[in-house]
Amino acid sequence: MTRGQTYTLGVDCGGSGIKASVLDESGVLHAPPVRVRTPYPLPPGRLVDTIAALAADLPPAHRVTVGVPGMIRHGVVVATPHYVTRSGPRSAIVPELADAWRDCDVRALLEERLGLPTLVLNDAEVHGAGVVTGEGIELVLTLGTGLGAALFDRGDLAPHLELSHAPVRRGLTYDVYIGQVERRRLGSTLWSRRVQRVVEGLWPVVRWDRLYLGGGNAQNVTPAVLARLGERVTVVPNQAGIIGGVRAWALGTA
């Protein structure tokens, strides 16, 4: 490690996997990312234990950035969709887990456990921090287990909106409509058309200068659909969910 550099432990927590790496100030990885399957059931303490175990297998860092699915405000979980369930996405909600996660100060728990300053944001917000240019209105949509969203205005993070839980058609939420289960059921071609309808439906709501499609399923959007979406829409690598851990500290998110 280079003296004088600030190293960041970036952790991307998803519904199916949790991955982490350590990055320098330029966002360069200083170790191959490590990944584990998201363990269920997952009370807050088990998530903290999982992140600590990943950190133990990586080089030391000076600070930590963690992206968590759901609505996060100032490091506190307002609501999280997956971690309150018995065995992961689409399984039954466990009331005790819902109570444990409600208003849980994850940032404080991690800072106590790791002994490092910690930033906890929605996972799509961390992803966005890794790709936005700071010019105009930029919307980030992450396509994975469900749908994640983050909105930036000239590089500053806007208040989080859980677009994923809004109804899109016939009682379905965005989370279900273009989530991983539907992609597997429909195949990438039909699923991509759904992504197109979602993007076109959000345009009059946001009127972005640039839209980024990220997350593990962004690579499955067909070239034909991407061509129809136009030049203001860009697919970005899923690795941004870790790289954004560095830039998040300087983009008006801390």
Q: Tokens representing 23?
A: 């990055």
Q: What is the pLDDT of residues 138-148, one digit of tens each?
A: 999 999 989 99
Q: How far is 166 from 33, CA to CA, in rounded Å?
A: 33
Q: What pLDDT is recorded for position 90?
A: 84
Residues of the chain with pLDDT below 70 are: 1-2, 252-254
Q: What is the pLDDT of residues 217-249, one digit of tens each?
A: 999 999 999 999 999 999 998 888 788 999 999
Strand ranges inside 63-195, DSSP E: 63-68, 71-73, 76-79, 104-105, 118-122, 137-143, 147-153, 156-157, 167-169, 172-173
Q: What pLDDT is recorded for position 254?
A: 47
Q: What pLDDT is recorded for position 49?
A: 98
Q: What pLDDT is recorded for position 253?
A: 53
Q: What pLDDT is recorded for position 180?
A: 92
pTM of the model: 0.90
Q: Tokens representing 94?
A: 């466990």
Question: Is 102 in a helix, a strand, or coil?
Answer: coil
Residues in Cβ contact with 174 at an 8 Å cutoff, skipping those fewer than 6 apart:
146, 147, 163, 164, 165, 166, 168, 198
